[in-house]
Structure 1
Amino acid sequence: MKITGYTDENFQQAFPGQPYTVMINPETIKWQRGIEYNEQQAPNTSAPSQKYKSTPVEKLNFDIVIDCTGIVDSKRVDMNQEISSLESIIYTYNGKIHRPNFVKVQWGKSLVFKGVLKSMDTSYTLFKPDGSPLRAKLSLGFSEYISPQSVEELDAKKSPDITHLISVVEGNTLPQLCEQTWNDDSYYIQVAQYNELNKFRNLKGGQKLIFPPIIQPV
């Protein structure tokens, strides 16, 4: 697993330096998604109906272990350096952008999460005789980040239909996503143009695509 910092909300300009490579991959990852509804009960009915309200941002939570005993990696034995390197990418205030960095978490090809750090809890679990920490468990929580431009395009009232913001899963194709969204795969060229995709046959996992309510040539 690699954790990369970015200085722009479109995740194009990487934070200087190398991404942080996790020493031991997490045992479990919790990727949280949800939908919010307003419950409305019509007159003369026995139960309320659920009217769509919103789709909250996705959340990613996992624990990692930093082991500086030399057993995992004989070259990475400085706990302070390990913590500092990770904090500079995901936590430390970046004066150039007046906020902490944007963060991409990637494990293999299929798990790609773009967001911002929400929580970071550190528990030290092993120490040298002098009290210096040798092992630590970090519980990290991230929230998905969507740029204001994408939100504005998503919320634009262009028609009575619904605009869709689709999260690409590794292996998805654009015609397949059009079929899932509209039961018609013939709109894939227009969607590619709308999202300014040069190569729409090789979509990346974690990529966000906007499917507008009215598909017209751009």
Structure 2
Amino acid sequence: MMGGALTKLKIDTYKDDTYSNSSKINTDAFEAFINPTSFSMTYKTKHNTDQANGNSKASLGYIASPPSDLQLEFLFDGTGVTQANPGNKLINTIAEKLGKKDAFVKKAVEKQITDFYNATGKLDGTIHKPYNVVITWGDLHFKGILSEFTIDYKMFTNEGKALRAIGKAKFSESISKELAAKEENKQSPDLTHKRTVQDGDTLPLMTDRIYGDSKYYLEVAKANGLVNFRQLKPGSELYFPPIEKIS
């Protein structure tokens, strides 16, 4: 099994469903303290189910593809058991800096849930709605809005403070018509692609996936400031500029 840096699920926040750089809000971005225990995708297709009189069977006609749903399940932990996992050193680092490990543990679950909800569900008064979000983790890249969030509290201190909770979040896909049109045409000259490097990825291979041709890999390397493009670091992010800018 090949090793590499632990990639954390990240939620970037936006004012609207264009997901443009000008609408991005950096202050409330969320990075998972512990990666999701599971996630699932639901895809839907709407058909016309009308059946002609006298027919025992119906021929379903395609109407539309409604927005897909993403279900994520998080573990919010404040027990300190993650110390044994070298990929979750953040809790220990913060605790040591505070000098009060017990105090941190008691507040950890509450803070994690608050940070998550601030990024996904809290009403922002300046835009009169919660944020649109882009969720990235490995091959997962989902654009949408939070539609449901359920928290199951599991463990408590003697004072009744939560030590562990399971958060179940449902996101519904939400993309502007303009952006959807661009994404359906992956060769769109004015669409910038961002991808997370996986084990085994090479720049020519990734370039071929994005543009349908690997010949642009040197231009992509230049755009990302790569000195040695033959050794890509798993978990790092690469930007693939619009074709018209590199061809």
Aligned-pair CA distance for 1:71 = 2.7
Counterpart position of 1:9: 17
Aligned-pair CA distance for 1:165 = 6.9
Aligned-pair CA distance for 1:45 = 4.0
Counterpart position of 1:29: 39
Counterpart position of 2:110: 80
Q: How does 1:172-187 map to 2 (within 5 A)?
A: 174=186
The answer to which of 120-129 and 44-53 deviates more is 44-53
Counterpart position of 1:39: 49
- Contact conserved, 2:12 with 2:26, CA < 8 A, in 1? no
Aligned-pair CA distance for 1:22 = 1.6
Alpha-carbon separation, structure 2, partners of 1:21 and 1:128: 26
Q: Does 1:203 align with 2:199?
A: no
* Aligned partner (choices 62, 79, 92) of residue 72 of structure 2: 62
- Contact conserved, 2:17 with 2:144, CA < 8 A, in 1? no
* Aligned partner (choices 131, 137, 161) of residue 101 of structure 1: 131
The answer to which of 115-124 and 67-76 deviates more is 67-76
* Aligned partner (choices 150, 162, 173) of residue 121 of structure 1: 150
1:47-81 deviation line (CA, Å, top 9, x unaligned): 11101122110000021011112232323632222
Q: Could you state the TM-score of these two structures normalised by the residue count of structure 2?
A: 0.60
Alpha-carbon separation, structure 2, partners of 1:142 and 1:10: 17
Tell me, which stretches of 5 or more residues in structure 2 are unaligned? 1-8, 83-90, 95-103, 194-206, 212-247
Q: Could you state the TM-score of these two structures normalised by the residue count of structure 1?
A: 0.67
Q: Does 1:133 align with 2:167?
A: no
Q: Which amino acid aligns with 1:141?
A: K
**Secondary structure, aligned partner of 1:80:** helix
Q: Which amino acid aligns with 2:62?
A: Y
1:106-165 deviation line (CA, Å, top 9, x unaligned): 112x110000000000111111111111111100000000215457xx6xxxxxxxxx97
Alpha-carbon separation, structure 2, partners of 1:66 and 1:7: 26
Larger helix share, 1 or 2:
2
**Secondary structure, aligned partner of 2:119:** helix
* Aligned partner (choices 175, 182, 189) of residue 146 of structure 1: 175
Distance change >3 Å, CA 201–CA 97, structure 1 → 2: farther
Tell me, which stretches of 5 or more residues in structure 1 are unaligned? 155-163, 169-173, 175-190, 205-218
**Secondary structure, aligned partner of 1:192:** coil
The answer to which of 64-73 and 142-151 deviates more is 142-151
Q: How many residues align?
A: 168
- Contact conserved, 1:15 with 1:89, CA < 8 A, in 2? no
Q: Which amino acid aligns with 1:15?
A: I
Aligned-pair CA distance for 1:44 = 5.5
Question: What's the RMSD between the two structures over aligned residues?
Answer: 2.8
